[in-house]
Amino acid sequence: MIRIGIVGCGGRMGRTLVQQVLETDGGALAGGTERPGSDLVGQDVATLVGAPPAGAAVTDDPSTLFATADAVIDFTTPAVTVENAALAARTNTILVVGTTGLDAGALARLAEAAKKTRIVQAPNMSVGVNLLFALTRRVAATLGVEYDIEIVEHHHRHKVDAPSGTALGLGRAAAEGRGVDLDAVADRARDGHTGAREDGHIGFAVLRGGDVVGDHTVMFAGPGERVELTHKASDRVIYARGAVRAALWAADKPNGLYSMTDVLGL
């Protein structure tokens, strides 16, 4: 049995993760964290989703959670995630990171922490999206540069980062398929008189509005035809399901930084 803790357990994603742990064989709740002053501190984490008490409390001290959990799942902010990676390294606790908006510096900090523990990090924890990453890499490698690549993503109006971590992950997959560096070929914004599209570039289009959980399309637009790969999320439980699966998978793995590609064997 793997005892799993949830960072930010009182939020929408946090409660979804709590419910998923309760429903997953081989997993048990170790507790959760919330900000100091929250009314949830001291409550049993299972009661946040209307379940019977699990003997696992909500705390405002992350070090307490990391000291008692076998694995911790973090879908918070880059700054908090970096701090939690350091805690995971000190306590040799598995850390599953679903946080988006991580820059190169934050990813480097995760890689450093992973020398002392097991960290699974992915821009998207959905099984379907990670299959889309693999398909995107394969199609990009198969089709020539005469096929223009455009990535379109749509999320709810409250999302704060753009393009989404998943869209950037799809861009990286496409760039890897073509054997190029994404930063060298990415068009992340277009406005005004931009001129003709650059051959071999990968474009991003961002939509925000409503309550859309997450829609992503990779378009390969070639002469006389267009190939589109699309994933549409209708429930956040897909991210929770993948994250809990990653925590259980990492239990017997050596220290290192892993991705959902490793978890799924893609």
253 catalytically annotated:
no
Task: Confirm or deny that 230 is annotated as ligand binding.
Answer: no
Task: Confirm or deny that 78 is annotated as ligand binding.
Answer: no
159 catalytically annotated:
yes
Which residues are paired to 101 by β-bridges? none
Task: Confirm or deny that 13 is annotated as ligand binding.
Answer: yes
Instruction: Round to the nearest angstrom and report the end-to-end CA distance of the chain.
Output: 26
> How many angstroms separate the CA atoms of 148 and 137, rounded?
14
Task: Confirm or deny that 156 is annotated as ligand binding.
Answer: yes
Task: Confirm or deny that 76 is annotated as ligand binding.
Answer: no
Task: Confirm or deny that 125 is annotated as ligand binding.
Answer: yes
Residue among 208, 229, 202 nearest 218 (CA): 229
Task: Confirm or deny that 8 is annotated as ligand binding.
Answer: yes
Q: What is the DSSP string of 112-146?
A: HHTTSSEEEE-S---HHHHHHHHHHHHHHHHS-TT
Alpha helices, DSSP H only, in the chain? Answer: 12-23, 62-68, 78-91, 104-113, 127-142, 165-178, 182-185, 237-249, 260-264
Task: Confirm or deny that 122 is annotated as ligand binding.
Answer: yes
Residue 198 amino acid letter: E
Task: Confirm or deny that 99 is annotated as ligand binding.
Answer: yes
Task: Confirm or deny that 178 is annotated as ligand binding.
Answer: no
Residue among 89, 265, 229 nearest 97 (CA): 89
Q: How many CA atoms lie within 13 A of 62 on its CB side?
A: 23
Do 250 and 258 contact (CB within 8 A), yes or no? Answer: yes
Task: Confirm or deny that 255 is annotated as ligand binding.
Answer: no
Task: Confirm or deny that 9 is annotated as ligand binding.
Answer: yes
Strands 214-222 and 225-233: antiparallel
Q: In this structure, what token pair is assigned to residue 61?
A: 């001290």
Catalytic residue selected from 115, 154, 158, 159: 159
Task: Confirm or deny that 60 is annotated as ligand binding.
Answer: yes
Task: Confirm or deny that 10 is annotated as ligand binding.
Answer: yes
Task: Confirm or deny that 37 is annotated as ligand binding.
Answer: no
Strands 94-97 and 71-74: parallel
Catalytic residue selected from 155, 201, 232, 253: 155
Q: What are the C-alpha distances in Å from 6 to residues 32, 98, 125, 196?
A: 5, 12, 15, 47
Known binding site for NAD(+): residues? 8-13, 60, 98-100, 122-125
Mind telling me the catalytic residues? 155, 159
Known binding site: residues? 8-13, 60, 98-100, 122-125, 156, 165-166
Known binding site for (S)-2,3,4,5-tetrahydrodipicolinate: residues? 156, 165-166
